[in-house]
Chain A
Amino acid sequence: MLETKRQKQDKPALGLVFFPAFDWKISETHPERQERLLYTRDQLEEEGLLDHPAIREYNPLVADWNDIACVHVGAPDLHHWVTEAHRVSAGGAIAAAKALMEGDVKRAFALVRPPGHHAMRMVHGIRGFCTINIEAVMLAYIRRHYPVGRVAFVDTDVHHGDGSQDMFYHDPDTLYISFHQDGRTLYPGTGFMDEFGGPQAVGANVNIPLPPGTGDKGLHRVLTELVKPILDDFKPDLIINSAGQDNHFSDPLANMNVTAKGYAELAHILQADIAVLEGGYSVKEALPYVNTGIVLSMAGLDYSQVIEPAFDSVKYAQTDDVTRYIESLIAQWKVQWAQRDQLKAKTLSRYGDIYKTEKRIYYDETGISELRHETVRLYPHQVGWRLIDSQSTAGPYGHQHVMGMFIPWQADEVCRQEAYDELWRRKKEGQAKRYVIADEGKGLSEEL
């Protein structure tokens, strides 16, 4: 039933939600400042791509508070952190998804800011330039309005999308694949192979940490030899690309050697249904060209002539060391991927009904430390609730203690009732300041 809608004939190849948020900044000198997409706008407009017949431009929507509050819980609350800009950015992703799902376009690209892939379930502040996870808000919206089952994310930002990993870590129907510069050399320091998904979702989180200096060659190898086969095994209804652009050789915050054409090629190989912009801070040398490349590629147009002026094929060549490292990484991954079902069975049998874990999260933008105690309810044949008991210190609003109960989108009434019962029980213990239910399937949030 999904296919019939999406097979409308004679529609533009690409729906483009271009929203540069020219009036939004974190601060005047922050990488996330007004001019970030200015030169991209100049390039797209000058190329004549915003009114090209293969491309239809859309304005973003403004995401409803419930669209956000059914996936995130804030401390002290969401209103202290989420601004109109975040609602518009998430609304931009939703607008792109709607254009695609209504069958108006063949594929969609939300070229929007502020970004979101470092934002986790609990929001105590801004981390890695992100406040809310715009892709997660979008996906919850898609799942509520359209019959979509399995979804795969491919995060092509240079930084590990630790926020997206957190959002989907316990969902076996949402595969999160990220390749990024190795966490031992770059923020946020996570994203290793052994982060393979929660007990009920082992195999649904795939991290591919690449060595600094990876170029087009290495990237495409990872894509064709590893990512594509994994996607083929997973058989998603929808592929979403978290399209960070900071693997570019000129990016000031990372150390990779990918080119604009390399990104266009990536988009071509991946054939994502929806792409959403994430990072990328070489605003003059990279973004105008990378975005032109991705837009051309997603619109099915010729991208072979996208060559950024700063490119130097000798200086930015991938070294043999890097090539060998990538080869062995791919080999290692193939082994781990083949073992995913055994690993899942083993893990589940180890934990029984309840899985508990403890985590510390740092919010770099505001210097806040969060301490989490997480509990996940495990069932033999369905996805269970996730409770996050979350405390933070050193923030502008003082000590925080909030309990967030996250009900999975697949939940039935039994699971939902158990989630409520558990949070009521916790409330009786009375340690936290707030007790909040976030219910993705119903698109609601409730304070107990």
Chain B
Amino acid sequence: MNVAAVTASRATTQSLRTGGNKDRNVASLVFLCALWFSLFFGVAVLVVLIVDTAIAGAGRFDANLFTNYESTVRKGETGFRAGILGSLWLMMSTALLAIPLGIASAVYLEEFADSRAWYNKFVEVNLQNLAAVPSIIYGMLAAAIMTILGYTYQGIVLGGAIALALLILPVIIISTREALRAVPQEIRHGSLALGATVWQTTWRQVLPSAVPGIATGTILGLSRAIGEAAPLIMIGVATVRFDPAWLTDKVAALPVQIYNLASAPQEELQQAASAAIILLLLMILGMNALAILIRNKFQRNW
């Protein structure tokens, strides 16, 4: 997208937002109502779900929820310690795997690659496709990689991190490319004109300018990963009652534990699962808030 297109799209957005057109006929009113209804419907369903879950789990927002392991002997005190710690471990190792790889791929595709070459077009099309692949497929892929690496028991931190990193790589690459593309060409041209190499331009001018976009995309990717259960179940993430201490330790995950307890027959366990759902939502909300903070702090206007 070049600068002219950006300016044009901004102008369109502005005129739509102000609603400057005065010709309000019946059709446009009906359309407006339809839009309002769509918005209302989406938000209302979400609110009902959250409120319903929060009420169902209300009795279990206590310290035991964080400090205890899963318990069938004392159902009222069952906790998600293994899942919470496991999910944190998985998030950290997923970030370590996915962020450098994702940003490097995006920088190559955007700044160095010849966009007319057939192999780059091929990569491009496949990236878009990968972003739409069902998450369980990444679990199978990770299981295959773990087998090649020689791990027979795959429900370990490394296995989960590979599955989740593969899952969010396309998201990170696509959003990083968007962020890089939003950096005006003039910055690059100016830098190159002053004698900087492409490498120096990318490293010192383009990447720092693209940080808000990259950070936002990455954190949104990670907050998708933290809520995923399917690929983790696929590689065999199980219930444990110890804390992981290294990449090769067996690990539990919060969404998997929730899935498991929500289908248990005992009401106490279902109640704990509801409380954990709210906890997971808060974790995701926190990550998204962080993304917004980073974006606002580093945003530049050209």
Q: Do A and B share a complex?
A: no
